[in-house]
Amino acid sequence: MTIGRTDDDTSRLNPITKALLLVMFSILVLLVVDPIHMSVIVVCVLVAKEHFHARGLVTRGIIGFAVAIFLAQILFNHSGDDLASWSVFSVTTGGVYDGVSIAGKFLSLIMMSWVFVATTSPSELSSALTTAGFPYRYAFLPALSMRFVPVFQFELATVREAQVTRGMKLDRSVKGIVRSARYTTMPMLMTAMSRVNSITASMTGRGFGMHKTRTQLRPIRMTAWDVAFLASSAVFVGVTFLVTRCPSLQAV
Amino acid sequence: MLDVRDLYVRYENRSKPAVDGLSLHIDLGEFVLLMGDSASGKSTAMQAVCGFIPDIIPAEKRGEVRIGGRVYEDATAVSSVACMVQQDPETQFCTETVEEEVAFGPENLNMSRTNIRKAVDESLANVRATHLVNRKLSTLSGGEKQKVAIASMLSVRPQLLILDEPTSNLDPRSVSDVVGVIDALRRKKEMTIVVVEHRPGGFKDLASRVMVMEKGRLVFDCERGDPVFADRIGTADAPPSTTMSPKGDLAVVSVKGLSYGVDGAKILDDVTFDLKDSAVVALMGENGAGKTTLLRHLMGLLTPQSGSIDVLGHVQDKDVRTEPWTVGRDVGFVFQNPNHQVFERTVEKEILFAAQNYDTSMNEALKAVEGFEASEEVRKFVHPHCLSFGQKRRVNIRSASSHGPRMILMDEPFSGQDAKNAEAIRGMIADLQRAGKTVVVVTHDVRFAKTSCTDVVFMRAGKVVRAGPVSSVRESEWVELFGEVAR
């Protein structure tokens, strides 16, 4: 998994700008109902995901869930005109449209959040939040969480390898999953507790929390580029809102 | 500089104290080597000095700790005068880059930006790591990480610097490098340095004073120049002795042209070697040389990208994959971190885990349970996580070998072990070898390789640069591969 920055324009944006852009993107996605528009958004997000090398997301499970959402809409949503029918089952235009729309919303929100994680340095996020006036003790929380995601992924993989090398076969049945969880919880808990103690000692031992404020060697401030990005995105989302939610404008 | 009086520390849920009535006095500019076996209380005492106990690690603490004549109320207050570099630098990094990590302390102390810059530059220069300033921490080698961890503490300009086993996970060359850095700090005499170690190792020529703890008490305290000083340091570093059976003639491992890489970086490059049965093989090389990756290939945890591996008839190449579950019947694996491989709720169940999964004969497994040093009560009712670090490691080895595998792979089994525990592990390895098993041990311990192994495989930058019987390796080759520490 990659958590960090790439060197293009978007990853040079202030992390707060990126977080706000993600919020606006989420609003935009929730506003869009047209399946064609939704499909265009999903394609754009896929392109963005590739462009920023946001790899490592468990796409098989997520795509599987999106497909399940789509199929559920097709099977149980009977609004609109009939497209096809077999016995008691029928596929309607409403089912297909809503299926594409809801599955698309799910996919694009998950993947765009991942793009944010992959292009945002945890340290810079905390630095930007502190510069913006956020209390630094709390600003460090997301940075620390993100810092340990790859560590815990590595440790989880090692624990699973240790299970397999001692004869615990990978079993995808419910019983197998429960057994695997039972034997994974304790080693992960032990290593997590040890890491929490180490990192707390390391931070406290270097004066973290000694003062109410904290100097920053490289403060990250909002630039004109950030403001321009935010303003244009806000205008775009605002116009989309008006167009999609005001019947009089839709008529125009 | 440091005054400790009647320090008593007892962890929660433990009946016996970890530190019991410790009193000591250390002057400014002294270099103290604090030694003792595992669980002797040396790290606990230093954690209490820094205020981590009871602020971060819950425990009952009594007694008085004065630094520079002053009693500090908590760990945050202590941080302005004393710092502790923990055993594993990886676990104490809280940022992403070297510059951010070294600047972290001065930023917390609200220094001006100019002073932070100065502190970062000076600290990195003190550990000879100025060139690393813009590097990401994840890209550093073990030795580089340790140097950055030391620099990140130096940047807050402490009067007392405590280093907890600063060389325990490093290869011999990195050990020399880190010892050199600590020596340079010692020569400046600007601060008091306390190094906590099981064995004096590279610090024996630096220490101005040696203290030894046992069962939570200070049992030895002597300054350089005292006649017993040299005796004590010499005894603690006594070489191990192990007797082994001769190895067999049957080929059990054949690796041919094995290569493997990640994101374009080659980790293994055309690796070729063979191993015979009943051999004890030291797999050696600098941190990042590819030793663990090679071990994981032998276990079937990684698939070769080119070349082939035959381990006891389990063949793997880029087209043929053998599941680790299948390889695991014949090959046991002891991972580096004991906590990653403890699954069951009692010692007995833990040791029987693999034998039950593979449904093999329980005779050998039950012997492995009975062979564990603790009482039957402990074996049947005590959780493995409640054992000492050394005992936990010995449970790991028994668990990995209880189902009767013909070969055991061990990834740095001596890491963090004191002399007694290391001796016990060496004994277990010899027992396995005498039982006809092949044992491959990833290690940085040159003395272990020279005295307790039949064969060595040296790796450098993903390549095997030397493989063969230990007896065939000349002294000059050891020195060329590992530096003067190999003598």
Residues A236-249: tens digit of each pLDDT = 888 888 877 776 66
The type of residue at A245 is R
The mean per-residue pLDDT over the stretch A114-125 comes to 84
Query: Rounded CA gap, B450 and B446, in Å?
Result: 6
- CA torsion angle B200 B201 B202 B206 (round to 10): 20
How does pLDDT run across B205-231, given as a tens digit for each residue?
888 899 999 999 999 898 887 877 777
How high is the mean pLDDT of chain B? 88
pLDDT at B295: 94
How does pLDDT run across A156-165, given as a tens digit for each residue?
999 999 999 9
Which of A75-89, A219-233, B233-247 is predicted least confidently?
B233-247
pLDDT at B374: 75
Closest CA to B154 of B184, B176, B131: B184
pLDDT category, B236, cuts 50, 70, 90?
low
pLDDT category, B129, cuts 50, 70, 90?
confident
Which of B41-55, B288-302, B471-485 is predicted least confidently?
B471-485
Distance set, CA B165 to CA B85, B152, B235 (Å): 9, 17, 19
Q: Which two tokens mark B98?
A: 């070297």
- Pick from B53, B91, B397 the residue to mutate for testing the A interface (most A CBs within 10 Å): B91
Task: Determine the 3-state secondary structure of B128 from DSSP.
Answer: coil
pLDDT category, A1, cuts 50, 70, 90?
very low
Q: Greater confidence, B152 or B238?
A: B152
Closest CA to B41 of B217, B166, B209, B167: B217
Task: Please indicate, yes or no, whether residues A128 and A105 belong to a single structural domain of this protein.
Answer: no
Which chain A residues contact residue B301 at CB under 8 A? Answer: 161, 164-165
How does pLDDT run across B136-171, given as a tens digit for each residue?
888 887 778 888 999 999 999 899 999 998 887 778
Q: Give yes or no for residue B22 having a pLDDT over 50.
A: yes
Residue of B nearest to A154 (CA): B340
pLDDT at B465: 92
Query: Rounded CA gap, B93 and A170, in Å?
Result: 34
Task: Please indicate, yes or no, whether residues A174 and A104 belong to a single structural domain of this protein.
Answer: no
Which residues touch A246 (CB under 8 Å, ≥6 apart)? Answer: none
Query: Rounded CA gap, A103 and B156, in Å?
Result: 52
Fill in the DSSP letter of residue B136: B
Q: Which two tokens mark B230?
A: 């040299």
Closest CA to A165 of A149, A191, A183, A186: A183
- Pick from A158, A206, A215, A221 the residue to mutate for testing the B interface (most B CBs within 10 Å): A206
Q: Is residue A69 part of a domain?
A: yes
Q: Is residue A52 part of a domain?
A: yes
pLDDT at B90: 82
Question: How far off is chain B from A120, nearest CA to CA, in Å?
Answer: 12
Query: Which H/E stretch holds residue B456?
Result: strand B455-460
Which residues touch B88 (CB under 8 Å, ≥6 apart)? Answer: A198, B169
Cβ contact, residue pair B96, A194, below 8 Å: no
Q: Is residue A134 part of a domain?
A: yes
Task: Determine the 3-state secondary structure of B54 from DSSP.
Answer: helix
Task: Determine the 3-state secondary structure of B110 from DSSP.
Answer: coil
The values of phi and psi at residue A116, to 5°, are: -60, -50
Cα B353 from chain centre: 26
Query: Rounded CA gap, B368 and B374, in Å?
Result: 12
Domain count, chain A: 2
Query: Rounded CA gap, A236 and A230, in Å?
Result: 10
Q: Is residue A239 part of a domain?
A: no
Which chain A residues contact residue B410 at CB under 8 A? Answer: none
Q: Name the residue among B92, B96, B105 with its Cβ closest to that of A199.
A: B92
Closest CA to B308 of B264, B251, B270, B266: B270
Asked if B276 and B248 touch (Cβ cutoff 8 Å), the reply is yes
Question: How many CB atoms are closer than 10 A to CB A7?
Answer: 6
Which residues touch B226 (CB under 8 Å, ≥6 apart)? Answer: none
- Pick from B56, B85, B98 the residue to mutate for testing the A interface (most A CBs within 10 Å): B56
The mean per-residue pLDDT over the stretch A15-43 comes to 88
Which residues touch B301 (CB under 8 Å, ≥6 apart)? Answer: A161, A164, A165, B324
The mean per-residue pLDDT over the stretch B23-38 comes to 90
Question: How far off is chain A from B72, nearest CA to CA, in Å?
Answer: 13
Which chain B residues contact residue A214 at CB under 8 A? Answer: 107-108, 110
Asked if B463 and B270 touch (Cβ cutoff 8 Å), the reply is yes
Which chain A residues contact residue B328 at CB under 8 A? Answer: 164-167
Which chain A residues contact residue B323 at CB under 8 A? Answer: 164
Query: Rounded CA gap, A215 and B106, in Å?
Result: 8
Task: Please indicate, yes or no, whether residues A99 and A24 belong to a single structural domain of this protein.
Answer: yes
Interior/surface letters B71-91, b for 16+ CB within 10 angstroms, e for the rest: ebeebbbbbbbbbbbbbbbbb
The mean per-residue pLDDT over the stretch B290-294 comes to 92
- Last residue of a domain, which of A69, A87, A120? A120
Fill in the DSSP letter of residue A15: H
Q: Give yes or no for residue B48 having a pLDDT over 70.
A: yes
Q: What's the predicted TM-score (pTM) here? A: 0.80
Task: Please indicate, yes or no, whether residues A154 and A66 belong to a single structural domain of this protein.
Answer: no
Closest CA to B184 of B239, B136, B129: B129
The mean per-residue pLDDT over the stretch B432-453 comes to 91
Task: Please indicate, yes or no, whether residues A144 and A88 belong to a single structural domain of this protein.
Answer: no
Task: Please indicate, yes or no, whether residues A50 and A76 belong to a single structural domain of this protein.
Answer: yes
DSSP track, A212-232: SS---SS-----HHHHHHHHH
Query: Rounded CA gap, B254 and B297, in Å?
Result: 12
First to last CA, chain B: 37
Q: Is residue A147 part of a domain?
A: yes
Cβ contact, residue pair A165, B111, below 8 Å: no
Q: Which two tokens mark B79?
A: 């941080």
Q: Give yes or no for residue B41 having a pLDDT over 80.
A: yes
Closest CA to B453 of B437, B436, B433: B433
pLDDT category, B234, cuts 50, 70, 90?
low
pLDDT at B44: 92
Interior/surface letters B362-375, b for 16+ CB within 10 angstroms, e for the rest: eeebeebbeebeee
Q: Is residue A229 part of a domain?
A: no
Query: Rounded CA gap, A224 and B134, in Å?
Result: 27
- Count CA within 13 A, CB hemisphere, residue B420: 10
pLDDT at B244: 65
Q: Give yes or no for residue B53 having a pLDDT over 60.
A: yes
Task: Please indicate, yes or no, whether residues A112 and A128 belong to a single structural domain of this protein.
Answer: no
pLDDT at A11: 52
Cβ contact, residue pair A198, B86, below 8 Å: yes
Strands B192-197 and B160-164, bridge-based pairing: parallel
Closest CA to B8 of B58, B60, B71: B60
Task: Please indicate, yes or no, whether residues A111 and A44 belong to a single structural domain of this protein.
Answer: yes
Cβ contact, residue pair B340, A158, below 8 Å: yes
Task: Please indicate, yes or no, whether residues A140 and A165 belong to a single structural domain of this protein.
Answer: yes
Which residues touch B382 (CB under 8 Å, ≥6 apart)? Answer: B346, B347, B374
pLDDT at A4: 44
Task: Please indicate, yes or no, whether residues A114 and A154 belong to a single structural domain of this protein.
Answer: no
Asked if B401 and B437 touch (Cβ cutoff 8 Å), the reply is yes
Task: Determine the 3-state secondary structure of A178 from DSSP.
Answer: helix
Tracing tokens 């945002």 back to the chain, one arrives at A120
Q: Is residue A54 part of a domain?
A: yes
- Last residue of a domain, which of A120, A148, A183? A120
Q: Give yes or no for residue B270 having a pLDDT over 90.
A: yes
Q: Give yes or no for residue B242 having a pLDDT over 70.
A: no
Task: Please indicate, yes or no, whether residues A134 and A59 belong to a single structural domain of this protein.
Answer: no
pLDDT category, B238, cuts 50, 70, 90?
low
Closest CA to A168 of B347, B379, B333: B333
Q: Give yes or no for residue B276 having a pLDDT over 70.
A: yes
pLDDT category, B183, cuts 50, 70, 90?
confident
The mean per-residue pLDDT over the stretch B37-53 comes to 90
Closest CA to B193 of B226, B166, B171: B166
pLDDT at A176: 84
Tracing tokens 């060329």 back to the chain, one arrives at B480
Cβ contact, residue pair B108, A208, below 8 Å: yes
Tracing tokens 């819950």 back to the chain, one arrives at B58
How does pLDDT run across B323-378, given as a tens digit for each residue?
899 999 999 999 988 888 999 989 999 999 999 999 888 888 888 888 887 777 88
Cβ contact, residue pair B93, A207, below 8 Å: no
Question: How many CB atoms are closer than 10 A to CB B319?
Answer: 8
Task: Please indicate, yes or no, whether residues A115 and A131 belong to a single structural domain of this protein.
Answer: no
Q: Is residue A242 part of a domain?
A: no
Peptide bond into B54 cis (omega under 30): yes
Query: Rounded CA gap, B317 and B310, in Å?
Result: 9
The residue range of the domain holding A181 is 124-221
